[in-house]
Amino acid sequence: MAFIQLHEEYFKTEKWIKHYSSNHQILIVGDGDFSFSLSLANSFRSASNITATSLDSYETLTKKYKNAISNVMALVRLGASVINGVDATKMKLHPHLTLRRFDRIVYNFPHAGFYGKEDDLHVIEMHKELVRGFFHNASGMLLPGGEIHVSHKTSAPFCNWNLEELANHNSLRLSECVPFRIEDYPGYNNKRGDSERSDEPFPLGECSTFKFTLDDWYENTVSHSLASQRNLSCDHGQLYYDPGYKSVNFDSKYLATPEKNRFKEECSRIFEWYFDHVVKTTWCPDEWVDYNVHKGLTLGYHRFLTNASGRPSSDFILFLEEIHRISISRIKWLEGLLEDTRY
């Protein structure tokens, strides 16, 4: 009863600052001197729901920003998780983030660094590569209904980054674009973050917060894929896939030969451990497992092509990797339960 009362009281005191609630699990990426994270935390009067990250190491922070350490200390006192050395293009592999999922993932004014004029095509491509890598990682770190927010300048040449196109290639769609006003976040100080002028602000000009959500077909395909796992069964020592309708094999007209080979290689890379496990526990010949499981996955790929016309095949590989991640997470959870029952 006490827990229920505490739970109800928690939601009664929900606090908001612009797009962010104290009930959201929030990941903030590339936060410079951590002043944006602290602005949210001060508004919530708590940071227990905030994971604040920066690319810089702790030592580098002390050299680049005069207020970074005091901001970090304030965040920690308020209950935040503060992680240094987080690369936005590899963050889903970070040991402190790999199993975490969030309601909001925020990246304010991503920038790859000062390597020339901002309208130089090579520099623009560097910035786009950074954002592309971020979307690739962030798209697999959302809770159901979650959003990815990128605040970004909208004037030339920054509009040439084509954020929406980069997001679309990573199973994301633009749900809303709203003006960004720094005064909405008291205490936030945008920083250049590079060169000897790291601690100086940069002119914002016209800028907006772009809000992205997962494509509906992405979530539906993942749901179908997870449900289809229940259809894998063993009969007379042979693993087979029974989806309830005609299956499609690797010689299907839907897969050109180079794509077929790459798809099979990627499946093997992701699910190699499972194949080995099935062979050892059911005594099925390797070739039976390999053929039948891949046949089922090819069926899923055919459905993907039908429901997501125009999407790159790499998106389906993302689905498989997410299923793999969910399975590994479940295994670790079960192992924890087993450990608890030993005492």
Between the alpha carbon of residue 205 and those of residues 124, 194, 229, 314, the distances in Å are: 18, 19, 50, 36
CA separation for the pair 115, 70 (Å, rounded): 30
Facing residues of 209 across strands? 151, 178
Query: Whole-angstrom Cα distance, residue 233 to residue 248?
Result: 18
Q: Yes or no: say if 136 and 128 are a contact pair by the CB < 8 Å rule.
A: no
Q: How many CA atoms within 13 Å lie on the side-chain side of 12?
A: 6
- pLDDT at res. 15: 94
All residue ranges of the chain with pLDDT < 70 are: 1-12, 216-265, 268, 272-296, 298-299, 302-314, 340-343
Task: Check: CB of residue 320 under 8 Å from CB of residue 269.
Answer: no
Query: Is 78 within 8 Å of 41 (Cβ atoms)?
Result: yes
What is the Cα–Cα distance from 250 to 194, expressed in whole angstroms?
50
What is the SS3 assignment for 297? Answer: helix
Residue 116: per-residue pLDDT = 87
- The amino acid that residue 103 corresponds to is D
Domain regions of the chain by residue span: 16-214, 218-341
Query: Can you read off the two tokens belonging to residue 132?
Result: 């592309």
What are the residues facing 194 on neighbouring strands? none
Q: Is the peptide bond before 312 cis (omega within 30 degrees of 0)?
A: no
Q: The tokens of 216 are what?
A: 């509906």
Query: In Å, what is the CA distance from 282 to each residue of 239, 263, 269?
Result: 8, 25, 21
Q: Give the C-alpha separation, 130 to 29, whole Å.
A: 12
Domain 16-214, CATH among 3.40.50.720, 3.40.50.150, 3.20.10.10, 3.40.228.10 = 3.40.50.150
Q: DSSP letters of 126-195?
A: HHHHHHHHHHHHHTTSEEEEEEEEEEEE-STTGGGG-HHHHHHTTTEEEEEEEE--GGGSTT------SS
What is the pLDDT at residue 225?
A: 44
* Cα four-point dihedral sign 333, 322, 273, 238: positive
What is the reported pTM? Answer: 0.64
C-alpha 276/C-alpha 289 separation (Å) is 9
User: Which pLDDT belongs to residue 312?
Assistant: 67
